[in-house]
Amino acid sequence: MATLRLVILGRQGSGKGTQCARLMESFGPVHVSTGDMLRAAVATGTEFGRQAEAIMDAGELVPDEVMNGIVAERLSADDVVERGVLLDGYPRTPAQAEALQEALESAGTHLDLALNLEVPIEEATRRMLDRARADDTEEAILRRLALYETETAPLVAWFEKRSLLITVDGLGSEDEVFQRLRRAVEHTVRDLR
Ligand code: AMP
């Protein structure tokens, strides 16, 4: 099977996490979630972890330079080089997208596809508020969704301009949404052959 380098974009509450697990199972890339990496850093209780925790609790973004460094290092690991990658939660800003492109280029490779899992903001907000944990305040949730519009939505245009974007309707059952994503990836795999 082709080694794929994919990005998945989608608001919190878009069902991205579940779909990433299924994409990984079907297509084999390593799932790299920057949110999971940051939560692991928080759990270690290091100085960096404490700083990240404060930013995440407020629903703000960790600075681009920090994220770019973390991801560039992860991309150079053997598993990602061999199996490819499904990036989830990164890039989140156009500056991160530029850095990703550079990191891949300097490794002699490139991004194959950005999947945009589209769920309307009203629906995403409803889902997030429904599943809010005690430490997840309504304010932080609304802040994250607002930041998605200002920082992350311009990425859609960034990928589109480079003919890398496929938008997939994120409404419907988990299976229906997965079939749409699967078709989009298969289409890309065929073009790679
Ligand atoms: P996520 O699990 O992707 O929703 O990420 C949880 C939190 O981690 C976000 O609300 C941000 O505070 C932080 N975070 C994750 N990925 C990034 C990124 N690429 N750039 C900046 N902050 C990030």
- For 3-42, the pLDDT digits (tens) are 999 999 999 889 999 999 999 999 999 999 999 999 999 9
Q: What distance in Å separates the CA atoms of residue 98 and residue 102, rounded to the nearest whole number?
A: 6
Domains of the chain and any CATH numbers: 4-192 (3.40.50.300)
Q: Mean pLDDT: which of 50-54, 57-61, 123-127 is highest? A: 50-54
Average pLDDT value over all residues in the chain? 93
More confident residue, 136 or 137: 137
Our answer to whether residue 143 is catalytic in this structure is no
* Higher pLDDT, residue 168 or 126: 168
Residue 60 CA, closest ligand 1 atom number: 12
Ligand 1 close to Cβ of residue 59 (< 6 A):
yes
Instruction: Report the residue among 9, 34, 68 best suited for mutation to probe ligand 1: largest number of ligand atoms under 8 A from its CB.
Output: 34
Quote the pTM value: 0.93
Instruction: For residue 185, count other CB atoms closer than 10 A to its CB.
Output: 22
Strand order in the sheet with 165-169: 30-33, 84-88, 4-9, 113-118, 165-169
